[in-house]
Structure 1
Amino acid sequence: MAFAPRLELRQSQSLVMTPQLQQAIKLLQLNNLELTAYVEAELAENPLLERDERRPDDGAGRVEPTDTRPGADQGVLDGLAPRREAPVDVEHDNNHDEGSPGEAAPSPYAAPGASGRGGDGELPSLEETLAEGDTLRRHLERQIGLEFADPGQRLIALALLDGLDAAGYLRAEADQLAAQLGADPAQVAAVLARLKRLDPPGVFAADLAECLALQLAEKNRLDPAMEALLANLDLLARRDLSALRDICGVDEDDLAGMIAEIRRLDPKPGSDFAAAPAQTLIPDVLMRPAPDGGWLVELNPDTLPRVLVNNRYLARVSGSLKREDKAFLADRLATAQWLTRALDQRARTILKVATELVRRQDGFFAHGVSHLKPLTLRDIATAVELHESTVSRVTSNKYLMTPRGIFELKYFFTQAIAATNGAEAHSAEAVRHRIKGLIDAEPADAVLSDDALVALLKAEGIDIARRTVAKYREGLGLPSSVQRRREKKQRAASA
């Protein structure tokens, strides 16, 4: 076999991910608040970018709401494609050569006082007037300062405090912490033992049994029988009282007294202290009933960043610049034009996907979770003529405000459960909701087993296996039929 050099011409196709394409994909994944932070950074770096502070009701950079009635918004949806025929530098919504006329008007969805900044005689918002309560960390820091005079021990104590969760449990491993600090494990264990004596009783415990034991020791009630009970909390959770009596060596009355004493303890000793302020969930997409039926879907104007290219500034400074400065401005101009175009395309893509989602799940918004339909990314991608990965990015970490509350867009994608009679498939979320409803309504003398649930669901036209019912029940945090029967009997006996 002879080897010789030769020339060959081959043709192939490949996708080249340009930096701008990668950045556009990144923008699509961000929610409105994350996008605002990104735009603020661009505004600080690019002199040709300016925040668009025109009123949303003037049509400045605003994507019109779409109607979800069949055929009502076909023209709008057709108009959501990128406008390639118009050059970027002549799009009036994204370019600006005059002064900004005013501040954006508050959205009808915004809470009263949400846009107030305390100036011009405006009152501060309610959140700004709330007094900050004492947190668990500050409460323990004060005690640590009094308990530990040695700086080395105080450093170890504060490091252990960093591993405390909101309920007061220590989630950090003492051995790992000793290795990180370069301290003797015995010294860390000694500091931890002293921390477990701080107020409130039960803090710095590793698990529930230790937390309860610390509180009982504080009350001088930690006897051998109680220790045996704490070592077998799983039997108490299953209401297996006969096994607990044998293990603890007590009679029925003593065991009932021990259980009552445990119930008076606090399983989360840190929960009585002020927690960090909860972050308000800000929706990216809004929907409301249309006056003549259907739903109107629009982007949240309060969180949607709007920018424009300041051509007036560009014309003023470009005449007397050096060559390298002109090159810099040309690069900044290209970046500004790309950003305005990318923001517009992102907004239209999100609105396009959200509108189709609302149209597909109309039954959920009108009647509740029992009417949620099975839906996949491919269904939406096919309907709006996008790739599945694009739909996945659009629906990730973005929220829709509906008359039934705020939901993540991913919530509306559920698996399909087949119907017994060949009818339309059922949503897995709707089936879970039905299982919970059946268990909540079961009488004390007729607790439903998983097999009984399967029979009831099949009678309603839902073809489901027993293991699927068990998986959904466990996912809902509902105990087995044996445990539910024990709990109901115990409640009936104590009533």
Structure 2
Amino acid sequence: MSLLQRLEMRQGQALVMTPQLLQAIKLLQLSQLDLAAYVDAELERNPLLERAEPESEAERSGTEEPSEGGEGDFNGGETEPWLASELGASQAQIETDLDTRLDNVFEAEAAIPTQEAASGDMLSLTPAPYGNTGGSFEGDAPDFEATLTHEISLREHLGAQLDLATRDPGDRLIAGFLIDAVDDAGYLRESIDELAERLGTSLDSVSRVLMLVQSFDPPGIAARDLAECLAIQLRERDRFDPAMQALVSRLDLVAKRDFAALRRLCGVDDEDLVDMLAEIRRLDPKPGRAFGSRAVEVLIPDVFVRAAPDGSWLVELNAEALPRVLVNQSYYARVSRGAKAEGDKAFLSECLQTANWLTRSLEQRARTILKVASEIVRQQDGFFMHGVAHLRPLNLKTVAEAIGMHESTVSRVTSNKSIGTSRGTLEMKYFFTAAIPGALGTAAHSSEAVRHRIKQLVDGEAPSDVLSDDALVQRLRDEGVDIARRTVAKYRESLRIPSSIERRREHFAYAGR
């Protein structure tokens, strides 16, 4: 057997994850804030990109004149004839090739076997069944940011009190460190031993200054745990007697609602225990939350849903949340005519291609969000009409098959996106719930709807007829929901509803028995 060296030519097909394809996939799953930051970075890097100006009256009336830039947000991506003649046939060919490559890339993405990919139908321009491209609700959308005011921070509030509390430089230094160590809830999470070691001072000095800071407003500030926080507030109210001190020392029994053990521990009767627990409930377990500590973030919907006059639902993109960028083709034509070096020409060509790709990717991202949101609204029509009790079981596969997209595309679209409804602004992921089988062959139920029903049953129970988990199971089965006891217990705990034993104890305590 002889070994020979030879050259062979083979023809094959393979999909390459180009930087442009990776960019398109990345844009699809970005939130509004991340997308805005990404576009801002591209505007700084690419001289051919510019931010679109707000629409003029002529544009809103549909009579806008051709703009300098040939690319807009939703202008169809067509190159104007006058611009094509200015750039020449070669540049027009670049535009056509770019559109073709974008189509081919998205169509081939779903065939990638080794990683999640967006669907090839991402570029479909067919309007969604409930789709209605638009900006927002009729009329001017309220400027939520304009209504926000600066809130004084907790550290500013404590610092102002420190200026009046002491003039001793050493105490002020220690107090400043303590105030900086207080978290947003108002607790001192760092050990005073560590603080004393860092400051190079005695533990007694830090403890003394800590007592000074704990006397500041709001009461309970700079406490090291919940018990100390409540104790400070009770001392402020002159209610920290021995019985209350015993109660605060065993908050674990309060959480368990073990009222019999608490009565024995505090040496009080049922009526006094009820009053003491009511006093505890009036205290603030997080005294620092009343102060602004960071910028307020308003959740802005990506899509709006509103009722149409004919009883259907209108799904509209929120234009205020969409980045509007233009490709300055005139600037490119002017600069390219003066470019002589090959490197300069290559740089301009790359910038133009990148800018065109970004504007098209943004447009397809918006259309895909609209298409997926429209299908979610169609699938969850009962929720928008009647509320959470009418949520239906829904998964990514169902939506993907209905609109002819890849499941991974739907997953990316629904990540970090929200829908503005008459029932509030909800994340898109909220509408995807697991299915609970129906009893006796009835239709399946949404897990979120079942969880909501459990809360309704518990809220409506009588003190003399507290529903156990087994009783909840039976009630749900009578209503056509085939559910296991452990599932009911899991849903009840997720809603932070105590067990039937704890609820019964609480009812008895309030009844004064």
Calculate the TM-score normalised by the size of structure 2: 0.76
**Structure 1 residue aligned with 2:143:** 114
Task: Identify if the C-alpha distance between structure 1 residues 319 and 273 changes in structure 2 by more than 3 Å, giving closer, same or farther.
Answer: closer
1:36 alignment partner in structure 2:
36
Q: What per-residue deviation string (whole Å, max 9, x for no partner) do you get for residues 274-326 of structure 1?
A: 56563222110122233434322221112211222221111112111231322
Aligned to 2:431: 412
1:320 match? 338
CA contact (8 A) 1:88 1:341 kept: no
Match of residue 481, structure 1, among 491, 495, 500: 500
CA deviations over 1:7-49 (Å, ceiling 9, x no partner): 9989998764332222222211112343223222222222211
- Per-residue CA deviations over 1:47-104 (Å, capped at 9, x if unaligned) read 211223344674963399xxxxxxxxxxxxxxxxxxx99554899xxxxxxxxxxxxx
Q: Which residue of 2 aligns with 1:26?
A: 26
2-structure distance, mates of 1:4, 1:242 = 91
Q: 1:140 corresponds to which letter in structure 2? A: L
More moved, 7-16 vs 311-320: 7-16
1:397 paired residue number = 416
Distance 2:75 2:47 in 1: 26
C-alpha distance 106-347 of structure 1, shift in aligned 2 (>3 A): closer
CA distance in 2, matches of 1:192, 1:11: 77
User: Structure 1's 173 and 372: CA in aligned 2 closer, same or farther, altered over 3 A?
Assistant: farther
Tell me: CA distance 1:351–1:260, structure 2 relative to 1, closer, same or farther (3 Å): closer
Distance of 1:390 and 1:89 partners within structure 2: 20
Partners in 2 of 1:476 and 1:263 — Cα distance? 20
Check conservation: 1:56, 1:301, Cα contact below 8 A: no
Hey, what does 1:297 align to over in structure 2?
A: 315
Alpha-carbon distance in 2 for matches of 1:163, 1:182: 13
Distance 1:487 1:301 in 2: 51
Partner of 2:69: none
% identical equivalent positions: 56
2:220 paired residue number = 202
Q: Aligned partners of 1:169, 1:470: CA distance in 2, in Å?
A: 33
Alpha carbons of structure 1 residues 191 and 21: separation in structure 2 relative to 1, 3 Å: farther
- 1:48 counterpart = 2:48: yes
d(CA) in 1 for partners of 2:441 and 2:7?
Answer: 57
- What pairs with 1:206-285 in structure 2 (closer than 5 Å)? 206-219=224-237, 221-252=239-270, 254-256=272-274, 258-273=276-291, 278-285=296-303
Residue 62 of structure 1 is aligned with which of 66, 71, 74? 74
2:120 paired residue number: none
Using a 3 Å threshold, how does the CA distance of structure 1 residues 36 and 133 change in structure 2: closer, same or farther?
A: closer
Counterpart of 1:451 in structure 2 is 470
Alignment: residue pair count = 449
CA contact (8 A) 1:63 1:298 kept: no
Q: Kindly indicate whether the alpha-carbon contact (under 8 Å) linking 1:238 and 1:486 is maintained by their aligned counterparts in 2.
A: no
Q: Which amino acid aligns with 2:73?
A: G
Taking the aligned partners of 2:37 and 2:61, their CA distance within structure 1 comes to 24
Moved over 6 A (4+): 2-14
Query: What CA distance in whole angstroms lies between the structure 2 residues aligned with 1:432 and 1:421?
Result: 20
Does the 8 A contact of 2:270 with 2:512 survive in 1? no
Change (3 A) 1:269 1:41: same
TM-score norm. by structure 1 comes to 0.79
C-alpha distance in 1 between matches for 2:419 and 2:339: 48
Following superposition, the deviation at residue 489 of structure 1 comes to: 2.9
Q: Which residue of the partner structure matches residue 130 of structure 2?
A: none
In 1: Cα distance, 2:329 partner to 2:7 partner: 50
What aligned pairs does 1:454-473 form with structure 2 within 5 A after superposition? 454-473=473-492
My pick for the range that moved more, 356-365 or 162-171, is: 162-171
Paired position in structure 1 for 2:147: 127
Q: Give 1:471 deviation, angstroms.
A: 0.9
The Cα offsets for residues 141-190 of structure 1, whole Å up to 9 and x where unpaired, read as 123344565666545543433343444223445566667x5756836555
CA distance in 2, matches of 1:35, 1:110: 26
| Pairs within 5 Å for 1:334-345 | 334-345=353-364
Aligned to 1:373: 392
Partner of 2:87: none
8 Å CA contact 1:419–1:426 kept in 2: the answer is yes
Distance 1:156 1:386, change over 3 A: farther
Paired residues of 1:203 and 1:211 also in contact (CA < 8 A)? yes
1:364 aligns with 2:373: no
Q: 236-245 or 279-288: which moved more?
A: 236-245
C-alpha contact (below 8 Å) 1:33/1:303 kept by paired residues: no
- One-letter identity of the residue aligned with 1:399: S
1:341 CA displacement: 1.6
Question: 318, 321, 328: which one pairs with 1:310?
Answer: 328
Bigger shift: residues 8-17 or 377-386: 8-17
| 1:438 corresponds to | 457
SS of 1:346's equivalent?
Answer: helix
Query: Which is worse superposed, 420-429 or 218-227?
Result: 218-227
CA distance in 2: counterparts of 1:144 and 1:428, whole angstroms: 52
* Consecutive unaligned residues in structure 1, runs of 5 or more: 65-83, 92-104, 116-124
Amino acid of the structure 1 residue aligned with 2:319: P
Counterparts of 1:379 and 1:225, CA distance in 2: 59
Structure 2 residue aligned with 1:164: 182
Structure 1 residue matching 2:287: 3-state secondary structure: coil
Conserved 8 A contact 2:392-2:445 = yes
Equivalent pair of 1:203/1:269 in contact (CA under 8 Å): yes
Alpha-carbon separation, structure 1, partners of 2:180 and 2:4: 67
Residues 87 and 403 of structure 1, relative CA distance in 2, 3 Å threshold:
farther
Q: Is the 1:63–1:299 contact (alpha carbons within 8 Å) kept by the matching residues of 2?
A: no
Please tell me whether residue 17 in structure 1 is matched to residue 17 in structure 2: yes
Segments of 5+ residues of structure 2 without an aligned counterpart are 65-71, 77-93, 103-133
The CA distance in 1 between the partners of 2:269 and 2:137, in whole Å, is: 65
Paired with 2:43 and 2:455, the residues of 1 have a C-alpha distance of 50
SS of equivalent residue, structure 2 residue 465:
coil
